[in-house]
Structure 1
Amino acid sequence: MPGLTIGDTIPDLELETTHGKIRIHDYVGDGYAIIFSHPGDFTPVCTTELGKMAAYAPEFEKRGVKLLGLSCDGVHSHKEWIKDIEAYTPGSHVTYPIAADPNRNVIKQLNMVDPDEKDSSGNQMPSRALHIVGPDKKVKLSFLYPSSTGRNMDEVVRVVDSLQKAAKHKVATPANWKPGEKVVISPSVSTEEAKRIFPQGFEVADLPSKKDYLRFTNV
């Protein structure tokens, strides 16, 4: 069975979390949500990551994005772990829920299983996975990191900005794009349509092929 990937509807699972029971679709609501998994509580890289997520929470909130953490340990363990997370990242508060998954059912359904990592009992462990879910409850983007590599939260914010800009306008963001920089007009937009949609104008890159597909504009 293929794993959950971009374009798939996120399963509407009921989760036990540090904020009580939640259903994923209700939690996403009419905004965006970032669901991110961690190999385990009281582990070094995860502690730094959840602290950074907490520190960046206001940036995500500005963009209408909710956060939802996930680790296989229980809710009580999560609550104790939060004390370490907040102590390590001064000024941050873990205001988002962290879901428990002791039976490993959730990580399997959300395609967040690390094929190589097992705990001392031989149970499967979560990978360092992250799904960005849109208002239509579909997966818009996924990151999958090994347990040895912590995520870059600036990149998570950047891709949220890219996704939301692409959803609002008929554009895409080029390599290394940052908010405020020019975007490219989608190839599905004809030149005539581009003139109508982008009255501010656009520049066409002069390429050896003389094809006018690389068009930059500000939105």
Structure 2
Amino acid sequence: MIRVLVADDHALIRSGLAGMLGAQPDITIVGEAADGAEAVRATADLAPDVVMMDIRMPKMDGIEATRRISRQANAPHVLVLTTFDLDEYVYDALRAGAAGFLLKDAPPGQLAEAVRTVAAGEALLAPAVTRRLITRYLRVPPPTAAAARATGRLTERELEVLRLVARGLSNAELAERLHLSDATVKTHVSRVLTKLDLRDRVQAVVYAYEQGLVVPGED
């Protein structure tokens, strides 16, 4: 059973999300939070597998709450909820440790599948939306010497895989593009994460753009 905590400052949205997810046979709602600070405390007390996190909340916003939750022992996966008019905040949430994001108006089936995806340890990155967010809002700092050395440890194939992951391609799409088996793609992705000391594909996307390996808006 996947244990979920719902954090949103709007009671109606909170109860609606809890109701939709709680109706799933493999998902249980362990708690709700009305602000970021409450979400951090509830996460420590209730040990959910997934936290559904709104971004704009009083007392502590979802970005800071995500950052603090990510530092907890046995931290849960944080799934950020957003609307298009809040796109500018999503990138910061991913940097803070979120496992992915989902639009608030997603249908119930997609919402439940998103929870299952991040609970299984996979990043939830909708390619088209991810590219749009990064293209519009990414603030690229100069690459560091340490990052350059880490990148230098990648093989040409691994570097190619990293760039395609940053473009939002799934493992299946990588396999088709590179004419490789799914197993080989998974191995390449795993090696990239290990060599760069990255937690997941979300961090890989952020890393690739920050290090200039992929240019926003470039095909």
TM-score, normalised by the number of residues in structure 2: 0.28
- Which structure would you say has the larger Rg? 1
TM-score, normalised by the number of residues in structure 1: 0.28
User: Between Structure 1 and Structure 2, which shows a larger proportion of helix residues?
Assistant: 2
Relative contact order (C-alpha < 8 Å, sep 6+): which is higher? 1
User: Between Structure 1 and Structure 2, which shows a larger proportion of strand residues?
Assistant: 1
